Structure 1
Amino acid sequence: MRVKAAYPSSGPDDVPRVLIGTGFFISREGHLLTNATVVQKPERAWIEKDGVSYAADVLGVDETSNLALLKLRSLPPSFNFFHLADTSELPPVGTVLLRISMPLEFGASPSQGMVTGYESRFGQRFFPCKFMRTSLPAGPGEGGAAYLDLSGRLVGMQTFSLPEIGSTYALPARAALRLRDDLLFNGEINYGWIGFEVRVESDRENGARLVIDKIMADTPASGSGLAVDDVLLEIGDYEIHTLDDLRNAMFYTRVGTFTDIKVRRGGAIREFTVQVDKRPKNEPLEVVTRAPRNEGDGTPVQTPQEPPPEAMRLPFDAAEPSYVPSGSN
């Protein structure tokens, strides 16, 4: 459905601004998801379905992932909703996708693309988990669109755009479920934290790996048995090979729960159980403490240069919300 939000006028004409996005239901009680950029502290928010407007309350937003959770004050006579599946499996690269969006003032519009990759970072911007990169470009009003596979299963929600290559990033459905739970039950997003930093090492025999470089004092990690120079192998359900893997695994940990961590220490495999804490607000998403180095000569690993600033347009309005005069409602 179409999501709209009204904001105070920013010009001398005193005409309210209205932002337009796309959303979709995730419960029979009228909960729905859209982009945070569409409903970031509006004067009022509503949806339009079958030509009828329904007022909505914004239950919470997460700017980092560009997700917002809303709930209708009254329900349409009939509507369908998607289930947010709790599965760690992501659609493989090359999977065909169907996007259902509400561009501009048009009706529900399907478009087809495919999964082209997964990243937890683009340039200097860090995502909280692996985001799904797609071949679908973003247009005005399409932020918050649902992405389905060919079985009709919800696999993600459009969040950011890469206009230079006609691409978009989508938040995976499992990530949306994890964020929905926090907003619904806690009223805010609580990211998990254990309290260690890592470095990247590599050699020709074993490839790249993440090694614990520092364990912070008075943190869950400090009393867990983990040690500096342990090689990370698994956290919870996820194998750890790259920084993308580490960010992704930490994102899906839940504050207050216990998670299993598997490491290699010397020639032995060790397993530890750690209670996850809430990440301090001053702790960044980035966790690497120094440049990766090759074993043997200790020379820095050559990594690709960061894209220039003009190629890093990932503002939170990348969801392409559309502005319309308030009189068009």
Structure 2
Amino acid sequence: MRTPRIVTARTSRRALVAAVVAAAALSATSSNAPADDLGELLPDERNTIEVFEKSAPSVVFVVNRGVHRDLFTWRTTEYLRGTGSGFVWDRQGHIVTNYHVIEGASQVSVVIDEQDYPARVLGAEPKRDIAVLAIDAAAAGRARPLRLRPVVLGDDRNLRVGQKVLAIGSPFGLDRTLTTGVISALGRDIVGVGRVTIPDMIQTDASINPGNSGGPLLDSRGRLIGMNTMIYSKTGSSAGIGFAVPVRFIRRIVPQIIETGRAVSAALGASYFDDDVVRRLGLNGVLIRRVYPDTGAAQAGLRGTRQSRRGRILLGDVIVGVEGQQVRSYDELYNALDRHQPGDVVTVHYLRDGRREKAKVRLSAL
């Protein structure tokens, strides 16, 4: 029996080409469909239709292009690396999507109402798989101002398993495709493309396929509660197990990227050895490589790894806990610190020469 795997939901070039004919047929069919009387439909159907019609204009199609240079002629050729989804953040042209959707792109564009607009990557936080784009309508030669409808932000703190959700995106290049389902589980901790755990992800059985990455997961009132990011599948297509990044991370990180071009994280003010190095040394925790001057870690007296005058390696402090939360790896340290803001004072537990000690550390901005 094959082991199911976690895969991101970005559409590959082959899948996109295979969907072109189907997309054209679907567009023609939907555009000619008569307007039904909503009063004849069930309340749940009316709700689904109303949420889609209100929210669909906020959802965009994101295209990731690369450039190939011929080693003999030095000519460059543009090619399609993949596609995904995104949603409008504000009327100034900021678009939110997954980092893995635009990762490695030479050029990025955003398709809105069948119009292609060039975009630039303002910044990203790979550890939460979030990226922010800025579209440039003027560069596309559009005379009319671009009318954007920002998504309505919700809250993921009071979600319940069984609650209705709607996913809108561009699976296999079929833009503004709607699927519905329920919240299947909450609090899923899954390692993302940034190689650290994204905590409290929302699990849903709403169909999510390649191309849905970066699209919104909405509640029954059309409010954003998460961003569709990955699926659990044997084949790479939907198996009814999809995951979304909670909106609280998006609320915090996106404004930071828009304002400064990067996400701001709370940090101790030190660098660390890779986890595999620590394990080979027979240690359990996070080994400090270096403590940066004029940081909270330096002021608290934490020590980095150093070399004695005789050339002997003296190991630094091994962090084993933050605010009572056990720390056994860099992943756990990052997520423990991510619960706090720069300027907060936290209690750090560490091992020094085999003795367990603790110190108060004021967090710096990373």
Question: Which residue is 2:64 aligned to?
Answer: 5
Q: Deviations over 1:250-280 (max 9, x none)?
A: 324233x33677xxxxxxxxxx98632246x
Counterpart pick for 2:213 among 143, 148, 159 = 143
Q: Does 1:33 align with 2:103?
A: no
Mapped partners of 2:135, 2:192: distance in 1: 37
- Letter of the structure 2 residue corresponding to residue 112 of structure 1: T
- Letter of the structure 1 residue corresponding to residue 215 of structure 2: A
Counterpart pick for 2:189 among 120, 124, 139 = 120
Q: Secondary structure at the match of 1:38?
A: helix
Q: Secondary structure at the match of 2:197?
A: strand
Asked if 1 retains the 8 angstrom alpha-carbon contact of 2:188 and 2:202, the reply is yes
Mapped partners of 1:77, 1:166: distance in 2: 36
Segments of 4+ moved more than 6 angstroms: 10-13, 213-219, 221-224, 228-231, 240-247
Q: TM-score, structure 2 length as denominator? A: 0.55
Asked if 2 retains the 8 angstrom alpha-carbon contact of 1:120 and 1:248, the reply is no
User: Larger relative CO (CA 8 A, sep 6+): 1 or 2?
Assistant: 1
Q: Secondary structure at the match of 1:104?
A: helix
How far apart are 1:9 and its partner, in Å? 3.9
Counterpart pick for 1:167 among 241, 250, 263 = 241
Question: Which residue is 1:254 aligned to?
Answer: 341
Give unpaired runs (5+ residues) of structure 1.
197-212, 234-239, 262-271, 280-329
Q: Deviations over 1:199-236 (max 9, x none)?
A: xxxxxxxxxxxxxx999897747878xxx999957xxx
Asked if 1 retains the 8 angstrom alpha-carbon contact of 2:81 and 2:105, the reply is no
Q: Secondary structure at the match of 1:45?
A: strand
How many residue pairs get matched?
248
Question: Which residue is 1:186 aligned to?
Answer: 260
Give unpaired runs (5+ residues) of structure 2.
1-59, 138-143, 271-284, 301-318, 348-358
- Greater per-residue helix proportion: 2
Instruction: Provide closer, same or farther for how the CA distance between residues 134 and 252 of structure 1 changes in structure 2, counting only shifts above 3 A.
Output: same
Instruction: Provide closer, same or farther for how the CA distance between residues 153 and 41 of structure 1 changes in structure 2, counting only shifts above 3 A.
Output: same
Asked if 1 retains the 8 angstrom alpha-carbon contact of 2:110 and 2:118, the reply is yes
How far apart are 1:44 and its partner, in Å? 1.9
- Letter of the structure 2 residue corresponding to residue 4 of structure 1: V
Question: Which residue is 2:129 aligned to?
Answer: 66
Q: Secondary structure at the match of 1:64?
A: helix
Question: Which residue is 1:91 aligned to?
Answer: 159
How far apart are 1:37 and its partner, in Å? 2.0
Question: Once the two structures are aligned, what percentage of the paired residues are identical?
Answer: 23
Counterpart pick for 2:85 among 2, 17, 22 = 22
Equivalent residues in 2 for 1:160-309, closer than 5 Å: 160-164=230-234, 166-194=240-268, 220=296, 232=323, 250-255=337-342, 257-258=343-344, 275-278=362-365
Q: Secondary structure at the match of 1:170?
A: strand
Q: TM-score, structure 1 length as denominator? A: 0.60
